[in-house]
Structure 1
Amino acid sequence: MPRPTSDVHAFDTHVPDADLEDLRRRLAAARLPEPETVHRAEPGPGRWSQGVPLADLIDLVTYWRDDYDWRPFEQRLNRIGQYRTTIDDLGIHFLHRRSPRTDATPLLLTHGWPGSIAEFVDVIDDLADPAAPDAPAFHVVVPSLPGFGFSDKPDTTGWGTEKISAAWVQLMTRLGYDRFTAHGGDWGGNITTVLAGRFPEHVLGIHTTFAEAPPGLTTDGLTATERAWTEETHDFWHHRAAYAKQQATRPQTIGYSLVDSPVGLLAWILDKFAEWSDTSDSPFETMSRDRILDDVTLYWLTRTGASAARIYYESHNSLDPELRVDVPSAITIYPRDIEKYPRPWAQQRYRHIVRWRSPESGGHFPSLEVPEYFVQDLREGLSAVLAAQR
């Protein structure tokens, strides 16, 4: 079994009690605005049409201040196995769970924004050590993107998705995994696509929930469902993407609020968990309050609200329109995700699609919303990918 090189060091997390007490004090002293002017008492998405409703935020802030406990999540990270290494002068943090199975395949999982490694903590064990002996097993590596979590914050420009993809190849090679599979959604999907397109000699195949097509394709010949997908994606980018424009153009400006105000940070992130999940009224219909607060608290304690936002400044609209992926690819499009590209479009970029799925439920955060389905789908998708290599 491969061993980490001397450039990889074990890393344990233990946030000082003083930092947690400071968070509680700030939450207790928060100044809140008046309620939204959308007067809809009944549950439904209309309650969120101006953003996070005041009543929902007050409830979650109260829970965060009085009942939420960071320590179990911190201990969970330490049990999985945390490490750091330096690539291109930047410290990179990652989780690494080796499978006990001798037939396990290396798997790189890459998160996006406003997610983090918290997206995958509930599925890592099932992927590494499945209960069924005939299920595929994986050596799971989950890095924190530069500027996210316990990775270092870049102090120069240049850390966009192309450079991150190259860094991930160095990371996996350093761990002894010269060839590996990869999965990602959101920015993780973008990075996974670049990995597969730029480094096919290292990537056995990919699974992604983000299959961005090249620009300029026609809707001629698409089914009604596929046309609806293109319309929803168009609507998203033209009417619901102000957060992306802000972070792509002025990440420093919004960053002051995200680093100084825990309530501001919570609202900024909660808005996306609500809007992008497959729910009718609240993200907590499918995701636990604790797991969302684990994600938000990780941003808060590491002061990465601004540095994480800069991935938009570095990479927004940067996916090379000429990039093509020829390694085996498995693609899953969840119905409530924010970008949905029809297969005829996707296969213009991903030219060896071995499995395509469109489940009936799930949104942008499937590992949190539908974790059992996510694990099974990922296993089946990567099994198809590996079979295509034989």
Structure 2
Amino acid sequence: MSDKKKSAGKKDSTKKEKERKNASLKTVKSSFNWFKIITIFSAAVTVVLSAHLYNTVTTSKEVPKLNVDEWWGPLPMNPKQDLSIRPYRIEFSDVIVNDLRERLMHRRPFTPPLEDVGFKYGFNTNFLARVLDYWQNSYDFASREKFLNQFNHFVTNIQGLDIHFMHVKPKHTDDSQHTVVPLLLLHGWPGSVREFYELVPRLTAPRAGSRVVFEVIAPSLPGYGFSQGAVRPGLGPLEVAVVLRNLMQRLGHSQYYVQGGDWGHFIGSNLATLFPGEVLGFHTNMPIVASHPLVPVVTIFGMFFPSLVVEPELHSRMYPWGQKLAFTVEETGYLHEQATKPDTVGVALTDSPAGLAAYILEKFSTWTNPAFKKAGDGELLNKFALTHLLDNVMIYWATNSITTSMRLYAEHFSKRYMEHKMDQVHTTVPTWGIKFKHELGFQPDCILKLKYKNYLHSTIVEDGGHFAAFELPDVMADDIFKAVNTFIEFHEQKKKEAAEKPIDPEPHKKATTVYDFTVKDINGNDVKLDKYRGHVLIIVNVASQCGLTSTNYQELNALYDKYAKSRGLRILAFPCNQFLGQEPGTAKDILTFTKERGVKFDLFEKVDVNGDTAHPLWKFLKQTQSGTFGDFIKWNFSKFIVDKNGVPVERLAPNVNPSELEPLLAKYW
């Protein structure tokens, strides 16, 4: 081959190599550009989805609608229910005492504990023998009965159950410097009202620097101690909250403060969430949000970035997470049993005072301080007097209430209760927590504020455990006084801000959706209509004595039953007395009437819908959807359909039955 041909071939080869490299480079650049596009798109999608997920889990769930008159007692109901408040006296009868001593005397020998285990395997039987000997021979039943009766006790029937409560008023109520305010004190398991005996005198005595002194109402929870338990399933923490709210109403307290720990925390939290217009403040000594979906996310995030989740000085209360989780698993075996088979455990504890004492008192050791389990006596007497501990056990034994008390766990973990997702229902009532060092669970304020939107303060205590009122009554009393005084300042500030805020005389002219309005429900509580975002609404004016009432209530109920869960339909009913006076009753009368007709949808305060005094919401509805002969409402049961964006889209005349709305509603699902 000639040199010219060789040179030409080499040039061709070089040219092809360059072309190949350029093509590869273009491919790489193209691939890189696509990679950038995909990466940016994925990041954007991730951000959008994350924001949507965060918004979803932080948006308040709806406050559940409960039957405040649900009957928990034996059937048939007595049409002449005794609503009286009757004095009650705690009694340890000779029959109860003699039977107890007989059982303690003839108890079987216990299996000896393993060497040097302390309370690590449960209640140490060597020490248990000492406890039972004391209970049998040295516990003075007569003097303890007198001690327990030092406060006034009462019983009244609420929703079919005899509910017991202590009612202690300040002795000196003529002090103009202190306002007497009602405080509902709520105990937990395995406690009782006995936990409050050292606390109550501290709360009912006026103190310098406080604006208030307390009138204390301390009930035995239904099924605990001297209060009857339900005869049918379903009486969980939500329903107990309703019972206790009705108790406070019975006593004449339309507004009050609540304090609780253990079950008292959950029930008190439910009270504040269900009845924000009645509960003025909630103080808890077990501040936790148990089941919010962001709790595990925040907890795990804190493992890597602890300073963003919890204060450095409190880090050891939350982490190492593995150790805390192991402790939780170890200490909640009782919970799993009581949440699934409470009656099985109840048989053994009802029959054996030794078993009952061991089962209850073991919690007073380990839950007061986990380190106590190392000691052969569980260091029970380090914090408590044995007589005082046995007072609490004696209440369970004398009333035979251990089984009914444990059933509350089964009701709490039932499908009926869990579906309400109460930890995702926002609580606007001002809330204050006190965090004792050895409480069973600890959560930082950033978690608590997911639910408690006005969580004001956490008091940190470097001592104390689960039974704080019993163990450290001075600390508890001081903190309750501080909390309630702060709650009062909170409400005063809110009133001041409301008074200073200029009132728009015509808010309906600036509104764009129904979400711009706040209304009052039938109980007088403020309701911001933006809680209905994403729901199709029917807004209707109703009356109790109209010829259209029966058909409309029946068919509105049918629509609600059919579409409330499946399509998210919500019905907002506003009583109105402007049409021949056909809604003349009070809010209580209207409530009674609607309950008799099984109304399940949302009921609001009585309003005007026409004229200068018409509610701004109704002015907006009429302004947005004018009628055939003008914008005024013609009669009872005029209906407006509002779409998922809060915009009124349809207006139906009173003579259009609710069942005829189905095709129209289908357009807006």
TM range (shorter): over 0.9
**What amino acid is the match of 1:14?**
E
- Corresponding position of 1:172: 248
Tell me how far 1:382 sits from its aligned partner.
Answer: 1.9
* 1:304-352, Cα deviation, whole Å (9 max, x unpaired): 1111111111113846232221111110111101011111111111111
Q: Partners of 1:342 and 1:266 in 2: how far apart?
A: 34
Tell me how far 1:131 sits from its aligned partner.
Answer: 5.5
Q: TM (normalized to structure 2)? A: 0.55
Tell me how far 1:18 sits from its aligned partner.
Answer: 2.0
Work out whether 1:316 is the aligned partner of 2:413. Answer: yes
How many residues matched? Answer: 380
Contact 2:210 2:481 in 1 (8 A): no
2:278 corresponds, among 193, 202, 207, to: 202
Tell me how far 1:283 sits from its aligned partner.
Answer: 2.1
Identity of aligned residues (%): 30
**What amino acid is the match of 1:251?**
P
Structure 2 unmatched ranges of 5 or more:
1-81, 302-307, 493-669
* 1:56-101, Cα deviation, whole Å (9 max, x unpaired): 1111111111101233332233331101111111110000012242
Work out whether 1:48 is the aligned partner of 2:119. Answer: yes
Contact 1:189 1:211 in 2 (8 A): yes
The structure-2 alpha-carbon separation of the partners of 1:98 and 1:35, relative to structure 1 and needing over 3 Å to count, comes to: same
**What amino acid is the match of 1:62?**
D
Tell me how far 1:54 sits from its aligned partner.
Answer: 1.3
Work out whether 1:295 is the aligned partner of 2:400. Answer: no
Written as runs of structure 1 = structure 2, the 5 A alignment for 1:42-121 is 47-99=118-170, 100-101=172-173, 103-121=179-197
The structure-2 alpha-carbon separation of the partners of 1:292 and 1:316, relative to structure 1 and needing over 3 Å to count, comes to: farther
Deviates more, 1:86-95 or 1:6-15: 6-15
Work out whether 1:216 is the aligned partner of 2:318. Answer: no
Q: Partners of 2:437 and 2:391 in 1: how far apart?
A: 26
- Corresponding position of 1:365: 467
The structure-2 alpha-carbon separation of the partners of 1:17 and 1:135, relative to structure 1 and needing over 3 Å to count, comes to: farther
Root-mean-square deviation (Å) = 1.9
**What amino acid is the match of 2:437?**
P
Tell me how far 1:51 sits from its aligned partner.
Answer: 0.4
Q: Partners of 1:131 and 1:193 in 2: how far apart?
A: 27
Contact 2:187 2:261 in 1 (8 A): yes
* 1:232-280, Cα deviation, whole Å (9 max, x unpaired): 6533432321100111100010000111100000010011111100364
Q: Partners of 1:243 and 1:302 in 2: how far apart?
A: 21
Deviates more, 1:237-246 or 1:103-112: 237-246
Q: Partners of 2:411 and 2:269 in 1: how far apart?
A: 17
Contact 2:85 2:156 in 1 (8 A): yes
Spell out structure 1 runs of 4+ moving beyond 4 A. Answer: 131-135
**What amino acid is the match of 2:101?**
R
Q: TM (normalized to structure 1)? A: 0.92
Written as runs of structure 1 = structure 2, the 5 A alignment for 1:1-390 is 7-37=84-114, 39-40=115-116, 47-99=118-170, 100-101=172-173, 103-130=179-206, 132=208, 134=210, 136-213=212-289, 214-217=292-295, 218-219=298-299, 220=301, 221-223=308-310, 224=312, 225-226=314-315, 228-229=317-318, 231=321, 234-278=325-369, 280=372, 281=375, 282-316=379-413, 318=418, 320-390=422-492
Q: Partners of 1:122 and 1:135 in 2: how far apart?
A: 22
Tell me how far 1:371 sits from its aligned partner.
Answer: 1.4
Partner SS for 2:132: helix
Partner SS for 1:80: coil
Tell me how far 1:173 sits from its aligned partner.
Answer: 1.1
The structure-2 alpha-carbon separation of the partners of 1:152 and 1:328, relative to structure 1 and needing over 3 Å to count, comes to: same
Contact 2:426 2:451 in 1 (8 A): yes
* 1:161-189, Cα deviation, whole Å (9 max, x unpaired): 00110111111111111100000000001
**What amino acid is the match of 2:384?**
M
Partner SS for 2:294: coil
Tell me how far 1:228 sits from its aligned partner.
Answer: 4.1
Structure label with greater radius of gyration: 2
Q: Partners of 1:203 and 1:31 in 2: how far apart?
A: 50
* 1:84-120, Cα deviation, whole Å (9 max, x unpaired): 1111111100000122426111000000000000110
Structure 1 unmatched ranges of 5 or more:
41-45
Tell me how far 1:289 sits from its aligned partner.
Answer: 0.8
Q: Partners of 1:303 and 1:150 in 2: how far apart?
A: 9
Q: Partners of 1:90 and 1:61 in 2: how far apart?
A: 33
Contact 2:285 2:468 in 1 (8 A): no
- Corresponding position of 2:653: none
Tell me how far 1:226 sits from its aligned partner.
Answer: 4.1
Tell me how far 1:13 sits from its aligned partner.
Answer: 2.0
**What amino acid is the match of 2:188?**
G
The structure-2 alpha-carbon separation of the partners of 1:335 and 1:170, relative to structure 1 and needing over 3 Å to count, comes to: same
**What amino acid is the match of 2:309?**
L
